[in-house]
Amino acid sequence: MWLSDGGSSLTVKDSWGLSFPEASMAMVAVSQIWTRRNKLRVGEAVAPLCLINQLASASLQEFQQSSLNPPKAPSLPKVTKWLPPPLNWVKINFDGATFSDSSSAGLEAIIQNDLGLVMATFTQQISLPTSVEMVEVLAAQDALCFAKDLGFNKIIMEGDSKIIIKALISDGISSSSFGHIVKDIKVCCNN
């Protein structure tokens, strides 16, 4: 088989005059014969020779079908690097998790200073709220109250829920089911 670039398109020919589909079928049949030979050598069960063409055809068809819709490569997770807060500030990283087997949720937070040292941590288990967003906003609220109770006033909050962060940054009033909690957090931040 040889390939030649005839100017604008690629031409596939072989020395026996087979077309590309015929040559593909021949290659798969040879592979089936070789696999059969190897199985015979080690005493494994093999299909009769009269089925080689059918097996090769099925194998080629399976390959062609999988080539039409190749699986998408999984996207790599975005790597984020923790950045410390400015001098004399603390950063609160908060998160919420749901546990459907126990109908509960977990609220977690870690407070770190500008050197990255852990100043305090917080965990709490609560009854399962109505939504994941509610879990996240409750984690933010409880983390902020915890930090204020410890006397921290210069605070940066960081969480992984884009919805909650967007609501906290927004100047508008949130009409969501957790809008009243977002309002409480904003009031607490301004005190």
Q: What is the CATH number of the domain that holds 166?
A: 3.30.420.10
Residues 166 and 136: beta-carbon distance below 8 Å: no
Are residues 183 and 96 located together in one domain of the fold?
A: yes
User: Looking at the predicted structure, is the pLDDT value of residue 154 above 80?
Assistant: yes
User: Looking at the predicted structure, is the pLDDT value of residue 61 above 80?
Assistant: yes
Are residues 141 and 175 located together in one domain of the fold?
A: yes
d(CA 55, CA 49): 10
Q: Are strands 10-13 and 118-127 parallel, antiparallel or unpaired?
A: unpaired
Helix (H, G, I), strand (E, B) or coil at 166: helix
Q: Using pLDDT thresholds of 50, 70 and 90, give the confidence band for residue 59.
A: confident
Q: Please report the pLDDT score of residue 116 as a whole number.
A: 93
Q: Are strands 90-99 and 155-159 parallel, antiparallel or unpaired?
A: parallel
- Which whole number is the average pLDDT over 18-42? 82
Q: Are strands 104-113 and 118-127 parallel, antiparallel or unpaired?
A: antiparallel
User: Looking at the predicted structure, is the pLDDT value of residue 179 above 90?
Assistant: no
Whether 80 is covered by a domain: the verdict is no
Give the total residue count for the chain: 191
- Domain range for residue 103? 90-190
| Mean pLDDT over each residue of the chain, to the nearest integer | 83
Q: Using a CB cutoff of 8 Å and minimum separation of 24, what contacts does 167-174 make?
A: 167/137, 168/140
Q: Please report the pLDDT score of residue 112 as a whole number.
A: 96
Are residues 100 and 14 located together in one domain of the fold?
A: no
Q: Please report the pLDDT score of residue 9 as a whole number.
A: 45
Q: Please report the pLDDT score of residue 50 as a whole number.
A: 87
Q: Please report the pLDDT score of residue 113 as a whole number.
A: 96
Are residues 49 and 105 located together in one domain of the fold?
A: no
SS3 string of 114-161?
A: CCCCEEEEEEEEEECCCCHHHHHHHHHHHHHHHHHHCCCCCEEEEECC
User: Looking at the predicted structure, is the pLDDT value of residue 29 above 90?
Assistant: no
d(CA 84, CA 81): 10
Q: How many domains does the chain contain in total?
A: 2
Higher pLDDT, 149 or 70: 149
Predicted TM-score (pTM) of this structure: 0.57
